Amino acid sequence: MVRDEVTKPAKNKRHALHGIEKKEICQIKKDNPSIKIAELAKQFECAIQTISESLSNSDYWLNIDETSTT
């Protein structure tokens, strides 16, 4: 049985995103609204839920200072 790598990240592999990465995700989605959340999750090696949560707070993430460590 082959695991669908686009929708299911590897188990026990956690990747926390930094603020700058969340800002980048939101900017990519803003510039390319047709991109799928699953594609972003694969690109950033994180769960779809993580991408979804970042995008739901996109106003915040797009306005953060890039020198911020959050």
Give residue-wise pLDDT tens across range 4-23. 555 565 565 667 889 999 99
Token digits of residue 33: 């609204």
Q: Tell me whether residue 12 is in a domain.
A: no
Label residue 40 exposed, middle or buried (CB < 10 Å: 0-12, 13-18, 19+).
buried
The per-residue pLDDT for 65 is 83
The per-residue pLDDT for 15 is 73
The pLDDT-based confidence of 66 (bands split at 50, 70, 90) is confident
37-58 per-position pLDDT tens digit = 999 999 999 999 999 999 999 9
Q: Tell me whether residue 54 is in a domain.
A: yes
Domain span holding position 38: 19-62
Domain count, the chain: 1
The per-residue pLDDT for 6 is 59
d(CA 31, CA 47): 21
Token digits of residue 17: 């995103």
The per-residue pLDDT for 68 is 56
d(CA 31, CA 46): 20
Question: How far is residue 11 from each of residues 39, 41, 62, measured CA to CA in Å?
Answer: 18, 14, 30
